[in-house]
């Protein structure tokens, strides 16, 4: 399970709306399965169908999270016009089997989490929005 504070979900939604029609993306940092910090990042692909993180931003965020005693728990991105599910492109690009992929759909407002194993099998991770 991944627990995400409502204020962070709200910030993801705001970022997704601002960056639409392209996908918005970033990292979620925290401890013990509870998100404490959102790290918005640039979708260098500037695409409505997929995203890529800027390697320089990734390194900077990793340093920030570590300095705060947080682990990077999840990569998040938005789906501007489709449900919150792993698309074929998301699955193809999911190379970190230890992370949770959080997707927020602007289509229906859902926020869901997934993992992808080495064989590209997708499993849903329950996401609990907390206060």
Q: What is the CATH number of the domain that holds 103?
A: 3.40.140.10
* pTM more than 0.75: yes
pLDDT given at position 100 = 98
Domain around 118: 2-130
pLDDT given at position 32 = 96
DSSP of 50-112 = ---B-HHHHHHHHHHHHHTT-EEEEEEEEESSS-SS--HHHHHH---TTSEEEEEETTT--EE
Cβ distance 17 to 57 under 8 Å? no
pLDDT tens digits along 27-45: 999 999 999 999 999 999 9
| Rounded Cα distance, 44 and 95, in Å | 18
The pair phi, psi for residue 29, each rounded to 5°, is: -110, 150
Domain count, the chain: 1
pLDDT tens digits along 43-73: 999 999 989 999 999 999 999 999 999 999 9
| Rounded Cα distance, 22 and 81, in Å | 10
| Rounded Cα distance, 82 and 89, in Å | 13
Average pLDDT, the chain: 96
């Amino acid at each position: 399970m991944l627990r995400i504070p409502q204020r962070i979900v709200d910030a993801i939604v705001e970022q997704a709306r601002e960056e639409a029609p392209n996908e918005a993306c970033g990292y979620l940092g925290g401890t013990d399965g509870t998100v404490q910090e959102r790290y918005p990042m640039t979708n260098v692909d500037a695409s409505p169908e997929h995203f890529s993180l800027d390697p320089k931003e990734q390194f900077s965020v990793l340093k920030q999270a570590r300095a705060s005693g947080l682990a990077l728990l999840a990569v998040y991105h938005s789906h501007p016009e489709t449900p919150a599910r792993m698309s074929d492109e998301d699955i193809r690009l999911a190379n970190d089997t230890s992370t949770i992929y959080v997707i927020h759909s602007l289509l229906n407002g859902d926020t869901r989490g997934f993992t992808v194993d080495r064989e590209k099998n997708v499993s849903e991770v329950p996401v609990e929005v907390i206060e």
